[in-house]
Amino acid sequence: MAPITIALDAMGGDHGPSVVVPAAALALIRHPDMRFILVGDQSRIEPELGTHPALAAKSEIVHTDVAVAMDAKPSQALRRGRWKSSMWLALEAVRDKRAAAVVSAGNTGALMAMAKFCLKTIIGVDRPAIAVIWPTVEAECIVLDVGANVGADSRQLVEFALMGASLARALFGMEKPTVGLLNIGVEEVKGVEQIKEAAAVLKEAPLPIRFHGFVEGDVIGHGIADVVVTDGFTGNIALKTAEGTARQIAAYLRAAMRRSLLARVGAVLAQGAFGALKEKMDPRQLNGGIFLGLNGIVVKSHGGTDATGFACAIDLAYDMASNGVVERLASDVAGFHAKLELEGAA
Amino acid sequence: MAPITIALDAMGGDHGPSVVVPAAALALIRHPDMRFILVGDQSRIEPELGTHPALAAKSEIVHTDVAVAMDAKPSQALRRGRWKSSMWLALEAVRDKRAAAVVSAGNTGALMAMAKFCLKTIIGVDRPAIAVIWPTVEAECIVLDVGANVGADSRQLVEFALMGASLARALFGMEKPTVGLLNIGVEEVKGVEQIKEAAAVLKEAPLPIRFHGFVEGDVIGHGIADVVVTDGFTGNIALKTAEGTARQIAAYLRAAMRRSLLARVGAVLAQGAFGALKEKMDPRQLNGGIFLGLNGIVVKSHGGTDATGFACAIDLAYDMASNGVVERLASDVAGFHAKLELEGAA
């Protein structure tokens, strides 16, 4: 198999190269066929790379002095960072086919604005979305949009469903993913107009999905749907609320286990089990917002994550690249529009 | 102190009198100064009451054959259940001051529609909202709206803030509650127009609150704000997502503790701690959607809850009645509008 090259925005995130470089070294151990383009300040990347000779042998540095600030507004970032920032040059490597995917822990709004400008939206897609992989009791599901847009009309919701299903097919290897629309009640009467309209389209449209209908917030994590579709505002609130609840319960659990001597002894005996639980609940394991609908793979890592978390975002980019997510998605979208046109002409 | 009478819709919920009556008996043990009006089918209530003589001595039955179906649409429920259903007659007891509060496990939409019709909205309130008490790491906070409306404009969001703050003052005994607006990012640039406008008003308005600004979904449970304000669609999704995540983690935890013999022994030793944790995470402990903005106290219990859960909803109604929530809320709303008018005239 040909090596897969990932472009890394080495200056993104709260820690820059001191997290990005060790993360790449970790990911390389898991996927020795990876290559890296590290974009950023050479004088900061090189010392880090010096301690990872295996990675250094498979990496190329693209130097730039310009980095997008974590608090830059998207328009500002575009104005100041276009053509020259580490974020832009990493995206450019994907655009020019020198890399198969880009991973950045930089500011989400700036990354989306630059990615749209540099990679362009896939033909037939109105607006890109951000998808995440959400752990469920059974396995995992895909939730989108979690924040690329603050709202979504029915057409956009249908496109999100289509893109989420393409991703599920590529990453989970399933033929007909189950798709649910997030709503506040499962009865057909409930919810806002655009969601009802999207449901009507998804029920009838010639899509390679099984449409489950409406799902409520409490079943996202129960694995009822492989893809859960919502607008970026609601999806972002749901995602963060779930993260906050998990942290809150972890805090309760720690406090409970310190409560008495017996509990402490019990916790020591059960430490293997707690270790497995901790790993299952570790947000770093599922780090990575997937930008869908662009002509290229873009994964956004949490800004504050460590090397373990950033390496998971790199793994995700690698999986998407090896499964040809962009090509599949473009072909699914084209197929959908072709069928709609045929139907319209018939 | 004069007794506090609570009207109970004995036919609401999945189980009717077989849950409502034992729940009232439980609540009476905790608050012996309670009286009850039990509204529903006498032939089903009386046998239940027979096994609870202490409760029977403090209860009056109001008989009706009509009950609102759990799946009735609000308009349907109003048409068929007005004047005569158990839900309506329980509300009427509050309207006519025979009861201080009503508790129903019936269908939410129907209960809100009837409550608006029967009790009317407080003067100066545009739309009632549903509030819940949300557990935090520190204590508890109030989140509203969690589903009375599918959207909210800036004026309504400001009213929700005002009503939530009144409730926090009454229930938590605090002078100046901290209020946050749920949004997808704490920077002022982010989010939808109505949220930004509400923030601008809350920052300047002469309200007895401390305005915290925007809060994201992950900090609701961290106790940063005493009141978290959002529209009913988003609030409902956030609430249910948190509930689902808590159930999901509880399932992980149970599975982890069955994983090995050592883990099982550890779990037995730590069972006191697990018990405390279980109680803390028990959704029944915080059962009750509070309808705010009406001329009367209405608490909606989960439809599927048991007597323990329904009793918690009764306790909540009792707390609200003894703290004069409706009077405080009406006076806060009137005061706010008076100040606004003064400012407008100045």
Q: What is the pLDDT of residue A280?
A: 74
Chain A CB within 8 Å of residue B139 CB: no
Is the four-CA dihedral A5, A10, A16, A21 of positive or negative sign? Answer: positive
Cα–Cα dist B52/B21, whole Å = 8
Chain A residue numbers touching B260 (CB-CB < 8 A): 272-273
- Flag whether pLDDT at A252 surpasses 80: yes
pLDDT by residue (tens digit) across A217-233?
A: 999 999 899 999 999 99
Nearest by CB: B246 against A249, A263, A274: A249
* Residue in the structure block whose two tokens are 């590290």: A38
Residue of B nearest to A135 (CA): B248
- In A50-79, the residues whose Cβ lies within 8 Å of chain B are 71, 73
Nearest CA-CA partner of B289 in B263, B320, B266: B320
* Residue in the structure block whose two tokens are 């969690």: B146
Cα–Cα dist B167/A318, whole Å = 51
How is chain B split into domains, by residue range? Answer: 1-125+293-346, 126-284
Q: What is the pLDDT of residue B27?
A: 97
On average, the pLDDT of chain A sits at: 91
For A141, left (φ over 0), alpha (ψ -120 to 50), or beta?
A: beta
CB-based contact B151:B235 (threshold 8 Å):
no
Tokens of A158: 């249908």
Mark yes or no for CB contact A259/B272 under 8 Å: yes
**Helix, strand, or coil (residue A339):** helix
Distance from CA of B32 to the nearest CA of A (A): 33
Test mutation, A75, A240, A259, chain B, max B CBs within 10 A: A240
pLDDT by residue (tens digit) across B127-161?
A: 999 999 999 888 899 999 999 888 899 999 999 99
Q: How confident is the model at residue A191 (pLDDT cuts 50, 70, 90)?
A: low
What type of residue sits at position B233? F
Report the top-level CATH class of A1-124+293-346.
Answer: alpha beta
Average pLDDT, consecutive stretches of 10 residues, N- to C-terminus, chain B (346 residues):
93 96 97 97 96 97 94 89 95 98 95 96 93 90 92 92 94 93 74 89 88 93 94 94 90 82 81 77 83 97 94 96 93 84 62
* Residue in the structure block whose two tokens are 């409560």: A259
CB-based burial label for B91 (10 Å; 0-12, 13-18, 19+):
buried
Cα–Cα dist A17/B6, whole Å = 63
- Flag whether pLDDT at A190 surpasses 80: no
Mean pLDDT of A160-174: 94
Chain A CB within 8 Å of residue B274 CB: yes
Pairing relationship of beta strands B4-9 and B34-40 according to DSSP bridges: parallel
**Number of neighbours of residue B151 by Cβ within 10 angstroms:** 13
Q: What is the pLDDT of residue B189?
A: 57
- Flag whether pLDDT at A188 surpasses 60: no
Distance from CA of A240 to the nearest CA of B (A): 4
**Helix, strand, or coil (residue A82):** coil
Q: What is the pLDDT of residue B343?
A: 67
Q: What is the pLDDT of residue B289?
A: 94
Q: Which fold has domain B126-284?
A: Isopropylmalate Dehydrogenase (3.40.718)
Test mutation, B75, B134, B143, B233, chain A, max A CBs within 10 A: B233
Q: What is the pTM of this model?
A: 0.92
Q: How confident is the model at residue A192 (pLDDT cuts 50, 70, 90)?
A: confident
- Of A152-161, A244-253, B22-31, B43-52, the range with the lowest mean pLDDT is A244-253
- In A225-244, the residues whose Cβ lies within 8 Å of chain B are 230, 232-234, 236-244
Cα–Cα dist B164/B127, whole Å = 13
pLDDT by residue (tens digit) across A274-329?
A: 777 777 777 787 789 999 999 999 999 999 999 999 999 999 999 999 999 999 99
Cα–Cα dist A192/A199, whole Å = 11
Tokens of A190: 């409930």
* Residue in the structure block whose two tokens are 């690698």: A318
Cα–Cα dist A79/A14, whole Å = 22
Q: What is the pLDDT of residue A117?
A: 96
What type of residue sits at position B18? S
Distance from CA of A269 to the nearest CA of B (A): 5
Q: What is the pLDDT of residue A323?
A: 93
Helix axes A307-322, A17-30, angle to 10 degrees: 50
**Helix, strand, or coil (residue B33):** coil
CATH superfamily assigned to domain A126-286: Isopropylmalate Dehydrogenase (3.40.718.10)
Cα–Cα dist B130/B147, whole Å = 6
* Residue in the structure block whose two tokens are 């009317």: B120
Mark yes or no for CB contact B237/A217 under 8 Å: yes
Cα–Cα dist B196/B204, whole Å = 13
Q: What is the pLDDT of residue B330?
A: 93
Cα–Cα dist A107/A9, whole Å = 11
Nearest by CB: A184 against B192, B233, B266: B233
Contacts 24+ apart (CB under 8 A), A40-43: A40/A9, A40/A10, A40/A11, A40/A16, A40/A64, A40/A67, A40/A86, A41/A10, A41/A11, A41/A16, A41/A17, A41/A65, A41/A67, A41/A86
Q: What is the pLDDT of residue A257?
A: 79
Q: What is the pLDDT of residue A345?
A: 58
Chain B residue numbers touching A222 (CB-CB < 8 A): 244, 247-248
Pairing relationship of beta strands A289-292 and A297-300 according to DSSP bridges: antiparallel
DSSP string computed for A174-236: -SS-EEEEE-S-SSTT-S-HHHHHHHHHHHHS--SSEEEEEE-GGGGGGTS-SEEE--HHHHH
Q: What is the pLDDT of residue B299?
A: 97
Mark yes or no for CB contact A238/B238 under 8 Å: yes
Does residue A51 or residue A274 have the better pLDDT?
Answer: A51
Q: Which CATH architecture has domain B1-125+293-346?
A: 3-Layer(aba) Sandwich (3.40)
Q: What is the pLDDT of residue A271?
A: 80
CB-based contact B227:B168 (threshold 8 Å):
yes
Cα–Cα dist A35/A284, whole Å = 22
- In B282-311, the residues whose Cβ lies within 8 Å of chain A are none
Q: What is the pLDDT of residue B231?
A: 94
Chain A CB within 8 Å of residue B323 CB: no
Test mutation, A149, A218, A224, chain B, max B CBs within 10 A: A218
**Helix, strand, or coil (residue B228):** strand
Strand order in the sheet with A4-9: A59-63, A34-40, A4-9, A101-104, A297-300, A289-292, A129-135, A140-144, A227-229, A178-182, A210-215
Q: H or E stretch including B44?
A: helix B42-50
Tokens of A15: 């820690």
- Flag whether pLDDT at A346 surpasses 70: no
Q: What is the pLDDT of residue A296?
A: 97
Q: How confident is the model at residue A14 (pLDDT cuts 50, 70, 90)?
A: very high
